[in-house]
Amino acid sequence: MRSITGFILLGLIVAQPTYSGEFEVLYQSDTAKVVRDKSYGTNIGIFATNRGVVIIDPTAEDADLPKLNDLIKNSFQTEKKYLLNTHSHSDHTGGNAFFQQQGFTLVESPQGLKEFGVIKHTQAVSHTANDNILYHPTSNILFTGDIYTTNWHPTFYAGGLMGFNKAVDLLLSIGDQNTLIVPGHGKPTSKRELEEHRIQTFALVERVKILNQAGKSVEQIKNDEEIKRLLSQFNLEGRQPFLPERALTRFIERTITVLEQANKA
């Protein structure tokens, strides 16, 4: 696990990110970097392991991928290079083809990379039907994929609230209280903030449920003051505006669908 010095360094780098082209370094240590693609907001992991360099979720297909490749080469030098993905959405896997052309091997069964001590599919589906949780014990860094994000509303559509709840339980069971939690998008956080995210998610869904049962329209739910307050708790980066109107409408509609499906189960 990280030393106390490493933990202090974490606080400094998360608060004062550095930049390389279109990529922002959120955290770095002797064995790891967490990088954000500023265009798509995707969080990317770069790890030095005994097997070689491993990158997680090399963002979307984009003209700036050579800049990311340069950043990786300047971080950790090795001939052996591997790719891992938390899930199949294109903003996490779109860069795979480019990096395979650079000599990276896509690892479909990440258990083969032994240095990643806990690599599991979630025990119940959450964001997608095939979410991967990726943990690097040496750096004490946990990649959640889009099971958890800190710059968007919660997403739990594949597995409903039950799947989301089980996925969060699994995330909280990995590592220790100093584990760096890296969401699919948004700033890295801690287990305490992940627990708060779960509480806030259930409170938001409950409010949608109450309003929907009272016969309120999607537009009325969107404009409810309590809904606005609850949603603001997910805006950890203070973006203004937080959610586009279309995204907010879709979130309310899909949440109602999840609630209706749960009632039928």
Q: What is the pLDDT of residues 232-242, one digit of tens each?
A: 999 988 888 89
> Of 227, 148, 214, which Cα lies nearest the Cα of 186?
148
| Residue 182: partners with Cβ closer than 8 Å, 6 or more residues away | 34, 43, 45, 141, 142, 143, 144, 188
The edge-to-edge listing of strands for the beta sheet with 18-20 is 18-20, 23-28, 32-37, 43-49, 52-56, 81-84, 105-106
The CB-side HSE value for 146 (13 A sphere, CA atoms) comes to 24
| Helices assigned H by DSSP within 16-139 | 65-75, 90-93, 96-101
Q: Which CATH class is domain 4-190?
A: alpha beta
Start-to-end CA span in the chain (Å): 42
Report pTM: 0.87
Average pLDDT over residues 177-186: 96
Q: What are phi and psi of 131, to 5 degrees?
A: -75, 135
Average pLDDT over residues 143-152: 93
Q: 243, exposed or middle or buried, with CB in 10 Å at 0-12, 13-18, 19+?
A: middle
- Is 80 exceeded by the pLDDT of residue 29? yes
Q: How confident is the model at residue 123 (pLDDT cuts 50, 70, 90)?
A: low
pLDDT score for 120: 62
Q: How confident is the model at residue 110 (pLDDT cuts 50, 70, 90)?
A: low
Note the maximum CA span of the chain.
61
Q: How confident is the model at residue 8 (pLDDT cuts 50, 70, 90)?
A: very low
Q: How confident is the model at residue 159 (pLDDT cuts 50, 70, 90)?
A: confident
pLDDT score for 39: 87
pLDDT score for 127: 75
pLDDT score for 118: 62
DSSP annotation of 86: S
The edge-to-edge listing of strands for the beta sheet with 132-136 is 118-121, 132-136, 141-145, 180-183
The owner of tokens 């992991």 is 45
- Which sequence spans correspond to the domains of the chain? 4-190, 203-264
Q: Which two three-digit tokens encode residue 119?
A: 């690599």
Q: Which two three-digit tokens encode residue 76?
A: 């950790």
pLDDT digits (tens, 9 = 90+) for 74-87: 999 888 999 999 98
How far from the centroid of its chain's Cα atoms is residue 200's Cα? 17
Q: How confident is the model at residue 10 (pLDDT cuts 50, 70, 90)?
A: very low
pLDDT score for 237: 86
pLDDT score for 263: 83
**Which H/E stretch holds residue 258?**
helix 245-264
| Residue 264: partners with Cβ closer than 8 Å, 6 or more residues away | none
- Is 80 exceeded by the pLDDT of residue 121? no
